[in-house]
Chains A and B, each alone.
Chain A
């Protein structure tokens, strides 16, 4: 409680302290002179080890500090060279050869070598590190076996350093999104020599990520980590692409409270907000008064409710479908969430350049009533009172309240709401002590498999108790399919099964809502909420 309160009050105090005097320069103005970008970054990061961290506040900072083999283009999200200056792909698309830059260096001046990548990937696959994202590497041959200790010799895993600047990777299947993965923090290199100076290479609690110890290979490096105040990064003078960087310093403020964040932006304490949401009721105000600062971008991510299919009444697919039909999604996104979200009828988001799922159902109250009657609850009679579980958040609460009313009006069933703190909520989901729970999935990479694989019967993210052998088989086939056409057809079959079985109820596709000062240049909105600060610069207003 105390810490939370402090986090809430501190930024306020700062704002009032800075905001009062007319003469005082705001951070935003100071930033133009010193080339410093001030960023609101959500909650305080836990730790910055790219192999063990999971949150997006950590990820935002790591993106500036580390660099994988590839990067992504701001606008198109197509892979561009990172530490690897080029790569060759074999005919069957399962064997990659990466040619690393000679001038890629760590922030302590050491060269970045192919062996660094081999060491790093061995590190994250080592069970003692137990990174939550280790599974991202399972596309590599034998990586999963090594992770599960079925093989002990890492040389059997499909990663080889041929020489200092050449790295080869053998995949299990042609994985069209593999180059995208290389930009994920689980694939970032770490400096073994430095880590071993501070303890064991495979110890997740090794203090090498402390601000005075950490060494990284990206455009920026750590300078100050003042817990609960700010993290400051400065330009890494050893970085290979000096001419690409325009800024000298990045300051990340931990501002958890959405209202405080908006106030900090309004008073000129930050140039931009990095968390993809903002206070709902403020959106309309910005639309009207300050539209050029408001960035709204549909995202490759889905907001859905999931059913506990092991419990009555949701063990019946007809009941699950009835509830899905009985939601007025258009009103929900226009009147409740208000951030430009798009109604969704599938787990998988639309991708105009790739696979978009077919719309298999609609908002249809008559159909919903018929399905519920068929399942033995005509006009909701005999339907037990069920609970919606959600984690503490204003938007989740409003969505739950709205659905509660919509279901009551349409189907005459009683639903109660139940909120829990994030970690308790997660364990309730895992232990299946819920009826209906809210959930969301934000893509780790731009591919439908990232969504569909949540509902693998053995997936650690499938908390519905729903299992379907045919579905599992379709996804496995998709993994080894060689052409896009074949993959997309399999995805559509999986989508069809999800509709028929309805273990989850799609509600809408998220949209990212950010405040960005119009003077910030080269900040491009994209569906992955992917922002590299290397390219960011200011168009300084000509005031002086």
Chain B
């Protein structure tokens, strides 16, 4: 028995648990394919995303335009593909920024407690009180309109809730026996945070991350509408959907396809998040 258990790290364990979760694996495959397609879009897209064919106008899906064309005669498939680049980039970058700041801020505050905690959480409260749209608008006005900055700006406002959730989690964890054991064994604070607190808080972190990505993607389309995000003729899923809504009775395909792309992606993220949480939960005993 002893020998069998050797050579299997916690990560291997998690991976094997994840593999058994079919839904999560399908989602993972979908996301990988999606990311690859998004990366190579400029080479595989059938048309240019800005080329218009005004004479053609809006046409339903056909053999030439698989997802139809919009009212300016632009190929919808191409625009959805290019849209995936922007939406995924915003979704992942902004969420990573939010994740990084939020997790660190939350754990440090929760673990150190006392005055440090009080101070750090008041900072969060103050930032909460700022209307986030105005905050992003200010940032983009001061630093100019660039896509990278937009990602960072969105990330910089999305970390607040994350920090609160993590702090709450850490507060319940820090007095548990295994943390006290770790302290008595002489681990320093950073090691405890890294080895014990963050892995134990992984569940809520992952769940919240999968919720942040869609809200960030939608936030981008709102900012683009205000003229602070991407500018036409570039497209993101959010902007495609919002313009598709306006003509959903006349040209339903302009709403359906970007809508499908967005919702399938969000579902996949959620399934994958669920699977990861189950797989990574250290409380699940080894079999």
Contacts and interface: CB of A to CB of B under 8 A. Distances in A.
A401 B232 contact: yes
B64 interface: no
Interface string A407-433: 000000000111111000000000000
A325 B266 CA distance: 47
Interface stretch (B25-33, B48-56, B95-103): B48-56
Interface of B is mostly: loop
A1 B226 CA distance: 11
Contacts of B232: 397, 400-401, 417
Contacts of A392: 225-227
B47 interface: no
Nearest to B55: A335
A3 interface: no
Interface string A265-287: 00000000000000111101100
A259 B52 contact: no
Interface of A is mostly: helix
A329 to B, nearest CB: 12
A421 B227 CA distance: 8
Nearest to A263: B249
A526 interface: no
Contacts of A259: 246
B55 A419 contact: no
Interface string B5-40: 000000000000000000000000000000000000
Given A392-B225, A398-B71, A281 B247 contact: yes
Contacts of B60: none
A282 B250 contact: yes
A417 B227 CA distance: 9
B226 to A, nearest CB: 7
A261 to B, nearest CB: 13
A287 to B, nearest CB: 12
B231 interface: yes
A405 B250 contact: no
Interface string A1-17: 10000000000000000
A420 B51 CA distance: 24
A14 B71 CA distance: 31
B135 to A, nearest CB: 14
Nearest to B145: A418
A401 B71 contact: no
Contacts of A419: 227, 231
A32 B250 CA distance: 32
A282 B71 CA distance: 12
A405 B227 contact: no
B92 interface: no
Interface in B46-95: 50-52, 54-55, 57, 71-72
Contact of A336 (B54, B226, B233, B250): B54
Contacts of B52: 401-402, 405
Interface residues of A, number: 26
Chain A CB within 10 A, most for which of B51, B232, B247: B232
A414 to B, nearest CB: 11
Given A402-B54, A405-B50, A405-B51, A416 B250 contact: no
Contact of A281 (B226, B231, B251): B251
A130 interface: no
B44 interface: no
B95 to A, nearest CB: 23
A92 interface: no
B246 A281 contact: yes
A420 B227 contact: yes
B133 interface: yes
A1 B55 CA distance: 37
A404 interface: yes
A281 B71 contact: yes
Interface string B253-278: 00000000000000000000000000
Interface of B: 50-52, 54-55, 57, 71-72, 133, 225-227, 231-233, 243, 246-247, 249-251
Given A281-B251, A405-B233, A417-B231, 13 more contacts: A279-B246, A281-B71, A281-B247, A331-B54, A335-B54, A335-B55, A335-B57, A392-B227, A397-B232, A401-B72, A402-B72, A417-B232, A418-B231
29 contacts: A1-B133, A259-B246, A279-B246, A280-B71, A281-B246, A281-B247, A281-B250, A282-B250, A284-B250, A285-B249, A285-B250, A331-B54, A331-B55, A335-B54, A335-B55, A336-B54, A392-B225, A392-B227, A398-B72, A401-B52, A401-B233, A402-B52, A402-B72, A404-B50, A404-B233, A405-B52, A417-B231, A419-B231, A421-B226
Interface of A: 1, 259, 279-282, 284-285, 331, 335-336, 392, 394, 397-398, 400-402, 404-405, 416-421
